[in-house]
Amino acid sequence: MQTFSKPLQESVASLLAQRKAQVVGAAALSFAATLLITSRKPKTSKDHHLHSKNQALERVLIPFSQQSLQKPPKALLAQTTLETIRQHKQFFKPVENVQKVGVNNEFLRQLKAIFKIILPTFRTKEALLIILHSIFLVLRTWLSVVVARLDGRIVKNLVAANGRAFALSLVEWFAIAIPATYTNSMIRYLQSKLSIGFRTRLTRYVHDLYLDDKNAFYRIINLDNRIQGADQFITTDIAKFCDTLASLYSNLAKPMLDTVIFNYQLTKSIGAAGMVGLFVNYIITARLLRAVTPSFGKLAAIEAKLEGDFRGAHTRLITNAEEIAFYNGAELEHSILNRTYLRLISHINSIYKIRITYNMFEDFLIKYVWSAFGLGMCAIPVFLPEWAGAVVPLKDGDSPESGRTKGFITNKRLMISLSDAGGRMMYSYKELAELAGYTSRVYNLLSVLHSLHSDEFQSAKDAEGEYTLDKIKGKINEDYNGIKFEHAPIVTPAPGSDRGGELLVKDLNITVKPGEHLLITGPNGVGKTAIARVIAGLWPLFSGSLSKPDIEDIFYIPQRPYLSLGTLRDQVIYPHSHEDMLREGRTDKELFEILEVVHLAYIPDREGGWETKKEWKDVFSGGEKQRMGMARMFYHQPKFAVLDECTSAVSTDVEGLMYSHAKDTGITLITISHRPALFKYHRHLLRLNGEKGTWETETIGTKEQQMSLDKEIQALQSQLKEVETMRTRLQAIDTELSLKV
């Protein structure tokens, strides 16, 4: 049986006590850091205990695990203030298309601007997550040093055939594994939480701009051509940006910390000369990799755009499925989807080809050249001890071989960790380049949204013409009891066109006072709906002036009925929510009375009540959809309503009842329609001729208007006579053909 001297036993006992204190300290630090990030204690019930021990463990070890997915914290729903948006406007300048995407000063400027959104102050939850993430990164680096030294002692005891010390070292190894594994898991968890936190703040901010009172979601599609496929930017690009940013912090912060600490530890063993060699190796490697690194940022940006095109093609197919099926256009759509996909795959394959060459060079340089160089550095204390740092004296009972073995294994472990840290820093440059691509796209989205929010539109370069989007001079007054156009041209905006917009209605002058209902008529494509779009603020007013009521006093019913996600009740009260309805003291009984007016009283019973949720666009018929739009108008009771061909699928008798009820309730109607049956519900007529933007107004019921109607009736009667003549001639031809046979 092997015996040990008393000094050796005391030394081992002292060492074990020291390591035990380190392990306990590491575990305590990890646990304390976790408790700091626990957002709140979960609610408990007197009648109810935890379902299992696993839930209790999850509550202690995993922060934020008890937050409900169905009811997110109110902080996530806080709206960005207008003052904050105005302050941020200066940081999001319009992006020039010629700017190069890459790791440069422009990338840093854009990233700094986005950071004002995702990390507005140091008192946010995300700042706390970064601090705690950093604590765990430091803790993991310290544990790596402890493990490296422990690894050296284990091998030393093995070489020295010191069985008891070897066994105790293994016990210490398993003891330190507990805080080490917990620390590694928490680093990954905090990285994921940080990514979600960034994404939540950025998405909320974008939603506040995208769905603002200026209808930026409409403008970005119809009045601006800088962003194609905004949904791809908001859903996919923001997620990739936040994931890459959160992972890059971990992949850069820890390697940099590792480099400092491991270099300090290695200095004691390999000396200053070895450290100089390591730094020279870093510099040469960094320069070589920078010289051969492709433009991953630009490649990532192009890939994201092509992904958006492919997604948009499928979205268009789903949106227009019925029309495509009627036209039997599946074959053509099939070829369009295939071409879009092949463009995407061709680009991805080109990226893979570029990466395989780059990865071969990178792996050879970092894994093999660095490993050989590291082994050479580890050999310095053995072959050139005079170059190394301070030599640690051997303890009693240590042989020179075991001492060298311990030093070599410890240095090798530190060198491997240092090589891994350096390699991850080198690899991070590629991730940094990809982050530059995502940053460019997210910044471009934010820049465009800020421009549209500030009514700043971008015309095509060198655009000419009177009606370009950079020449909007019209004035709009939103505090007027009526609707009044003064010398206002109605122009189709043309983003990206170098000729400017097309004039539809020239120098419009018309006033609609309360109770003076207006009917707008004319051929297709002359600007009837365009007038409604200008009133609603969807299209800009290039010159002249427009006076209109406050947004709450005017209601619009478009040509295509829109049915939202939600209950049957939500379809009637849209865009109000159920909470808004209750706040105003409205009841379901009132809603039923409204449905009676529009002849939809049977709907609640047929569909199963007000709380029923369905895909309503597939449930209602065309006439039911249009009558539901009228029901919304009666629910909101506006002073003015703009109706754009919104009863074309409704029978004339029901249509007349709805128009009469609207007039009786005090709603002033501005109707766009071709139906002569609607003349009697209006007082004034605006007829658009379509010839160089000309127009004319009439008072319905006057002698001139009656003469105009008589002329229209005579024209229709003459056309009917021609039909009868052609029918008689057709019968005669049939008779002649039958006689010949």
Is residue 642 helix, strand or coil? strand
Please give the residue that has the higher pLDDT: either 303 or 591: 591
Assign residue 574 a region: left if phi > 0, alpha if psi is -120 to 50, beta otherwise?
A: beta
How buried is residue 179: exposed, middle or buried, by Cβ count under 10 Å (0-12/13-18/19+)?
buried
- What DSSP designation does 471 have? -
Strand pairing class (668-672; 518-521): parallel
pLDDT at 621 over 50: yes
pLDDT at 663 over 70: yes
Residue 447 sits in the same domain as residue 486: no
* 66 assigned to some structural domain: no
Distance CA 504, CA 489 (A): 8
Q: Which of 47-61, 376-390, 638-652, 713-727 has the highest mean pLDDT?
A: 638-652
The amino acid at 330: A
Residue 315 sits in the same domain as residue 338: yes
Residue 269 sits in the same domain as residue 344: yes
Residue 280 sits in the same domain as residue 405: yes
For residues 450 and 85, is the Cβ–Cβ distance under 8 A? yes
Q: What is the pLDDT, as a whole number, of residue 177? A: 83
Residue 480 sits in the same domain as residue 444: no
Is residue 437 helix, strand or coil? helix
Residues spanned by the domain of 140: 121-453
Residue 685 sits in the same domain as residue 649: yes
Q: Please, what is the average pLDDT of the chain?
A: 79
* 104 assigned to some structural domain: no
For residues 301 and 440, is the Cβ–Cβ distance under 8 A? yes
Q: What is the 3-state secondary structure (H, E, C) of 562-584?
A: CCCCCEHHHHHHCCCCHHHHHHC
The amino acid at 113: A
Give the pTM: 0.72
Mean pLDDT of 603-621: 93
Residue 656 sits in the same domain as residue 724: no
* 634 assigned to some structural domain: yes
- Residue 491, φ and ψ in degrees, nearest 5: -125, 135
Tell me the β-bridge partners of 642.
Answer: 556, 670
- Residue 477, φ and ψ in degrees, nearest 5: -110, 120
Residue 714 sits in the same domain as residue 675: no
Distance CA 187, CA 181 (A): 10
Please give the residue that has the higher pLDDT: either 596 or 14: 596
Residue 681 sits in the same domain as residue 728: no
Mean pLDDT of 90-97: 83
Closest CA to 540 of 221, 219, 227, 228: 219
For residues 520 and 686, is the Cβ–Cβ distance under 8 A? yes
Per-residue pLDDT tens over the stretch 453-504: 888 877 656 556 678 887 888 999 998 999 999 999 999 988 866 667 889 9
Q: What is the pLDDT, as a whole number, of residue 179? A: 87
Residue 669 sits in the same domain as residue 729: no
Residue 689 sits in the same domain as residue 713: no
Q: What is the CATH number of the domain that holds 679?
A: 3.40.50.300
